[in-house]
Structure 1
Amino acid sequence: MYGSEKMSQAYNTNMPRPYRMSRPILLAIAIIIFLGYASHSAWQQSAQPDLRTTPKIDLPTIPKTTRLHTEGRILDPFESLDESTAGLVEDIPASSTQQVAEPTPSSQSTNTNSLALHDETLGAAGEGTLYSKIGKVTMLYYNKPTKDSFWYEKALSSQREHNLRFGYKQFVLRTEIVPEFFSKQAFILSIMLQELAKPTAERLEWLFWHDVDLVLVNAQIPLELFVPPPEFSHIHHIVASDLNGLNAGVFFLRVHPWSLRYLSAIISYQDFHPDKWLRYQEQTAMEWLVQEWEQWGRNTTHVPQRWFNAYHNYGTDDSVPAEWEWKNGYHEPGDMLVHLPGSGDSRPDLIREWMDRVQNEPKKWVLALADTSYEKNVTEFWRKDAKKEREVQDTYWRRWHLLIELGSHEDDLRREAVKKAEQEAEEQDLSDEMRQEKIKELKEKYKKLKIKHLRDAERVKMKEEGLLEDNDDNGETKHENNDS
């Protein structure tokens, strides 16, 4: 009772009125989930784990006839499919098209493991019962097993070596809690409540959320490396942005009452902001919230994307001013993981490709921490860049809006000009070589114009914000000279 009153006081003191209204509902949901854990947990911790025994990887969502057993053994998570196993995967019905994380129509669905409080097949054996103070959280559920879901399970199993090495508990949600992707925040909230109910010394200190569409490439990199030093104790949320803004596929949350309020605000965002369009559902809700500086932004830090959210290299747009450094953080050898958002139907193939890379070229991709630039970059970030969080975010969003508005307009003009030039080339019966050369010159012209117009527009915006004097043209002149 005392704990409940104390939590209630914290909510009443810190939460704005709209978010307080949702508290009773959210707490009721959390209590139901917590009771569900007690009766459906898939994990029982042994007192003395046998370190000589490899943890069994059981794929509960794949029928026994298609489980990944070969001659009585279970495949290593980094083992490629060869002729001996490919046939087993072919047994999965190809006509089944359900996607990962689709709503499960019935609580009796055979693929559901209820809420896996701690997945022992992926959890830490560690040294005895010694676990890290960081826990991993993810979700993977679907209506029927498919070839795609098979590779998602393989991607999830790539976490195993990392968990074993550093003692990370792996929490896996195997069934939907609330509609759409808000199950992510609901699941994290339920774990956060359980941890805060424990004595301080027994709690996890951080939760590391990761989507299932990623491959843990380099198991030599500890998550502890990325949490803020003591002087940044006010930072409770660590995220990485891509070119579309905040990416909710991988992030850290401190086990702290602030995180309870933040998760509650995300889940209830649509109810209290029906006028806001959530382009990427809960990810966009997170993005809107962290732009509210006093309430959420000041406790959030955006870190370099490659730290723990590196992408597969899809190429870089060079029609943006070079000094903006407007590019995704693409994976380089030694990076901890590769994330594959937006890859659509090619995602299972990319998962397989990356797991093959790790298996076939470990010396290239799996580097010791000391052989990477992590320690230097992380130290420099917290020493310098982290102190400029608000300035960096203001700059990011100024440029993002310019690209969405002005940049899109410039791209439309270029496409219209190219289309007109192609028609003229056809009318003039130009050769393919002459036509291609003409189009190339035209694209280059419009690219330079776009870069110039973006720089001009940013200069105007900065003057409006009082960040640039009217006579301060040195930077622009220098860039124009370089471009010419």
Structure 2
Amino acid sequence: MTISEQMYLAAASRPLRGTLLLLLFLGSYYFGNPFSATPAVPGKPTKEDGTSWTSWVADSEQAKSPASNSSLKLNELHENGPRIRQATMIYETDKFNSVYERAVDSHLRHGERWNNPTHILRHDIVDAGFFNKPAFLLGIVINEMAKPYGKRADWLVYVAWAVAGLPRWFDADTVLLNNEVSWSLFLPPPEFNEINFLATKDQNGFNAGMFFIRICEWSVNMLSEVVSLRQFKPTLELPFYDQSAMLWAIERPGYEEHAVYQPHNWWNSFGVQGQPMPTDRFLLHFAGVDCCGGPESKGTIMTRWLDKMDINPDEYSTPLDDLTLPAEVKEFWSNLITARKTMETADQWSMDNKYEGNDLKAARVELRQTMMSEADDFAKINAGVKRMENIMSDASKRVDGDR
């Protein structure tokens, strides 16, 4: 199926309005009771029945019922890895419409390469500006959760594209450079099945222009809070609109343990005005371009990059084996596994030796917080691990000396 034959998702707005009204009614419950559910066991993709929710899905054999496979680990029902969908919004973009559509095409081509259906919202769902994004994503997640086990997607990747009439520094767009890199490369390994949200940071902290969110009940609850936040906490300051609302949600107990930050240069690269861009980049995010008196407009800069990709598409299509990215991702998760094991070891050692020193407790709290808010800083994670190891070593010597 060609890109031009992709089915766009404008018809999704009507059922979503009903969903949102129900969620607003129930929203107060979630504010008092956020909880994290076990991620849904994913299944293999099956061909869709032509609904407006999907653009296309690859053929696959029917998955077994998870009821008869309760011992299987997450993602083991897939012979080709986790099942992923993409989502974005693009509308009211007359100023650079052709440029934005070309940017969309770069993601559709990537979706075709890896059998990732693409959801595109082309008009408002609710009269709420930026909050159309979490409403749109909530509808997709709920739609997937309504499917039987074995037919649900596992992850949704939100990719920032274009909506006009909003503050310019939020008018963020992306161009995907390397079709040889799959979104699945960045997903948590089985040791971190409780991670439901992957994010990156910019100079302001959490960046909601791009992120990964797992298809599970945790995501329904989190997005419900984001959508209804303005109604239930109208005095709460949200300087970055939906981005601030999402940050408020994922930093709450019950949510913060299930989100992690990855290095932004992996799949959310900024700073695109300089030339040349390193050829190991996977994706470029044009956030903030032309918002602060720059010499060139966003459309001009994006056009230059899109022309570059049209003229020489292989320049950035580097095979995965020739990139350092897989090793970096492996190191990222290895660091977090080491940090987790270090905390578990410290807990067991403290219990066995009846050690109640505040130094070890404080180091553990600090390392746990670093894992949740600064996992993208490899040096800080490793330093936290080393600090705990040193404290345990010194404490162990003292305990042995007292015996």
1:150 aligns with 2:101: no
Structure 1 residues 256 and 305: alpha-carbon distance in aligned structure 2, compared to 1, 3 A threshold: same
**Aligned partner of residue 194 in structure 2, secondary structure:** coil
1:459 corresponding residue in structure 2: none
Q: Following the alignment from structure 1 to structure 2, what is the Cα–Cα distance between the partners of residues 270 and 239?
A: 23
Q: Deviations over 1:295-343 (max 9, x none)?
A: 211000101101211113457xxxxxxxxxxxxxx96312221011111
Structure 1 residues 290 and 389: alpha-carbon distance in aligned structure 2, compared to 1, 3 A threshold: farther
Structure 1 residues 218 and 273: alpha-carbon distance in aligned structure 2, compared to 1, 3 A threshold: same
1:372 corresponding residue in structure 2: 323
1:342 corresponding residue in structure 2: 288
**Aligned partner of residue 307 in structure 1, secondary structure:** helix
Q: Following the alignment from structure 2 to structure 1, what is the Cα–Cα distance between the partners of residues 49 and 147?
A: 20
2:31 corresponding residue in structure 1: 19
1:353 aligns with 2:304: yes
Q: Following the alignment from structure 2 to structure 1, what is the Cα–Cα distance between the partners of residues 101 and 373?
A: 39
**Aligned partner of residue 237 in structure 2, secondary structure:** coil
1:118 corresponding residue in structure 2: 54
Give % identity.
29
Q: Deviations over 1:433-469 (max 9, x none)?
A: xxxxxxxxxxxxxxxxxxxxxxxxxxxxxxxxxxxxx
One-letter amino acid of the structure 2 residue matched with residue 364 of structure 1: E
**Aligned partner of residue 246 in structure 1, secondary structure:** strand
Across the aligned residues of Structure 1 and Structure 2, the Cα RMSD in angstroms comes to 3.4
How do 1:25-424 residues align onto structure 2 when only pairs under 5 Å count?
117-119=53-55, 123=56, 133-142=83-92, 146-178=94-126, 179-212=128-161, 213-292=173-252, 294-313=253-272, 332-344=278-290, 346-385=297-336, 387=339, 390-391=369-370
**Aligned partner of residue 353 in structure 1, secondary structure:** helix
Structure 1 residues 392 and 45: alpha-carbon distance in aligned structure 2, compared to 1, 3 A threshold: closer
- Contact 2:27–2:224 under 8 Å retained in 1: no
Q: Following the alignment from structure 2 to structure 1, what is the Cα–Cα distance between the partners of residues 305 and 184?
A: 24
- Contact 1:358–1:366 under 8 Å retained in 2: no
One-letter amino acid of the structure 2 residue matched with residue 181 of structure 1: F
Q: CA deviation at 1:271?
A: 2.3
**Aligned partner of residue 377 in structure 1, secondary structure:** helix
One-letter amino acid of the structure 1 residue matched with residue 288 of structure 2: G
Larger gyration radius, structure 1 or structure 2:
1
Give me the TM-score of the superposition, normalised by structure 1.
Answer: 0.52
Structure 1 residues 227 and 389: alpha-carbon distance in aligned structure 2, compared to 1, 3 A threshold: farther
Structure 1 residues 395 and 289: alpha-carbon distance in aligned structure 2, compared to 1, 3 A threshold: same
| Structure 1: unaligned runs, 5 residues or longer | 1-10, 22-43, 48-114, 316-329, 397-484
Structure 1 residues 389 and 364: alpha-carbon distance in aligned structure 2, compared to 1, 3 A threshold: farther
- Contact 1:186–1:263 under 8 Å retained in 2: yes
| Structure 2: unaligned runs, 5 residues or longer | 1-22, 34-46, 63-79, 162-172, 292-296, 340-366, 376-403
Q: Which has the higher contact order (CA 8 A, sep 6+)?
A: 2
Structure 1 residues 129 and 331: alpha-carbon distance in aligned structure 2, compared to 1, 3 A threshold: farther
One-letter amino acid of the structure 2 residue matched with residue 184 of structure 1: K
1:475 corresponding residue in structure 2: none
